[in-house]
Structure 1
């Protein structure tokens, strides 16, 4: 059985530079594989190096490349699963966009992401074990049809829910809304939950989408600038609580909507859905009257990626509402 490795860099492919004391991308995919004891016994691993950058430098264009490469690999004869190595800072974003664009292809083979919090050569480096577990998961038939998965620290997380919660701890990844969908037990993945459903997507993705975090005292100038100067095609507004923003932001929402720029409302809370509860300036009920689209339980970064994918399908606001209802 054969796995296709899509390498993008990250801490898992980094080493400490003794001259500067900084961790930098320095490990080739081939050297990364060679450092994992027992990996060769699982079968061939074919390498496709997409990039070699830190997680914070991964762009939406690179994320789309990863998703399309994963999907294409699973259409090839002889490829039984895909593993993606990635930096932890944005792995949840590439993971989720890959799930949206290629999750339906996992009926043919699993797509599993692996990452690390400690660089190669550090005491207790977690990369080799995470990579070994990811390959095992990608080859296991029980992993198929579950969309893109994150395999880290002995846990398996669904793309929709996984998020980085600590700056340096190796157990940083959590799924606050549901917990891990599975764990590694005796060298095999064991699943306890199904992965959540995903809406239909097309081949096109519109990356001209901005993410704005609401804050106390905020006004509408940033939204107006995004529409008039940056000419974005969509805005995700990360509000407070169940989906509220300062009242002074509402004219900016009106300006965007009247210009044909959809505004999707997410929440900065870890769990829960955006729900119209409050009236008055900036309240959730009021925002619905001004044309916002609710992001459900997606956080801001994932709602941004979802809107990129959704705009590849439709630009009709009512259709976008239906799309996000299934996201």
Structure 2
């Protein structure tokens, strides 16, 4: 039976053209305009269409993600809809994908997709990516796998996917574990599973939405050689509600940051630790001043294998549920070790 897939258009390069006067890519198309260029979709699924927004990736905010989650949930609640595809700007696609992965409680497939090239370029990848995303969303094999991203014939877990190149067709990768599947000659094939986010508070869920609110005031600080605590102090002074530290290596910081990190934790501010490395987890391996052992003792919450931007998304959603430090530590306990 032909699946029914809802496509929610939110903008991004997939909807852009090159402006002839400026030579720059600009938003130009709504959902109907894009579908004209992808007639193959009629052979893949029965398509339902909604224009949610027309935003370049850098314009997307946590509030946009929250509104999008509610629209996706509304489509998923329809019994005749088998899956949902969301077109999205690639600059923040990995963040929205992970936001939806946490926020939605569903076994129906939700697949994000974008494009690296505009329709004005001979190598426009939007149509092929969109067809593959619909194939993934409409496949029974895609159920109960969490939110995924379909780009460049690969299927990637929302938890693991990163944009790792500014303009290559294969910009999206899971650097540590690889894709969870592929679209091979139009056939959706899964290679492995990926741990799904635990339902931290499913008992409080409202329908398909696990969360009732999001706390957008969470800052992300990247650590570099010789860094001190000035950005921690600035974040605290600005009224941030949470802080993510993208630390060095296994989860270590320069000693000059320690006093301010301690002050932040003692003030009741949740401080989450992750690594600026592209793979691996943070652990309390090192006992020197500024090492992970001391940071754990100081009260920082370890984010396991999550990247800085993913840890920030998770903290935003977790703070919409609780401010209890022990509960936050449980939420960030990493099932991937």
Deviation of the 1:44 alpha carbon: 3.0
The 5 Å alignment of 1:1-327 reads 1-102=3-104, 104-105=105-106, 107=107, 109-201=108-200, 202-228=211-237, 230-326=238-334
Deviation of the 1:67 alpha carbon: 2.0
Whole-Å Cα distance in 2 between the matches of residues 71 and 272 of structure 1? 32
The answer (yes or no) to whether the contact 2:218–2:243 under 8 Å persists in 1 is: yes
Please give the secondary structure, in 2, of the residue aligned with 1:212: strand
Whole-Å Cα distance in 1 between the matches of residues 333 and 257 of structure 2? 24
CA RMSD of superposed structures (Å): 1.3
Deviation of the 1:197 alpha carbon: 2.1
Whole-Å Cα distance in 1 between the matches of residues 292 and 61 of structure 2? 32
Deviation of the 1:326 alpha carbon: 4.2
Whole-Å Cα distance in 2 between the matches of residues 42 and 176 of structure 1? 30
Deviation of the 1:321 alpha carbon: 1.1
Deviations 1:208-241 (A, max 9, x none): 111010111111121122112x211100000000
The answer (yes or no) to whether the contact 1:199–1:326 under 8 Å persists in 2 is: no
Please give the secondary structure, in 1, of the residue aligned with 2:332: helix
Please give the secondary structure, in 1, of the residue aligned with 2:53: strand
Deviation of the 1:195 alpha carbon: 2.3
Please give the secondary structure, in 1, of the residue aligned with 2:39: coil
Whole-Å Cα distance in 2 between the matches of residues 54 and 86 of structure 1? 8
Please give the secondary structure, in 1, of the residue aligned with 2:134: helix
Please give the secondary structure, in 1, of the residue aligned with 2:100: helix
Stretches (4+) displaced over 3 A: none
Q: Which residue number in structure 1 is paired with residue 208 of structure 2?
A: none
Say which is worse superposed, 14-23 or 189-198, in terms of deviation.
189-198
Deviations 1:271-291 (A, max 9, x none): 111011112321111111111
Deviations 1:41-91 (A, max 9, x none): 234322222211211111111112222221221112321110000111110
Deviation of the 1:146 alpha carbon: 0.6
The answer (yes or no) to whether the contact 2:94–2:158 under 8 Å persists in 1 is: yes
TM-score (structure 1 length as normaliser): 0.96
Whole-Å Cα distance in 1 between the matches of residues 87 and 291 of structure 2? 41
The answer (yes or no) to whether the contact 2:221–2:245 under 8 Å persists in 1 is: yes
The answer (yes or no) to whether the contact 1:197–1:326 under 8 Å persists in 2 is: no
- Gapped regions of structure 2 (runs ≥ 5): 201-210
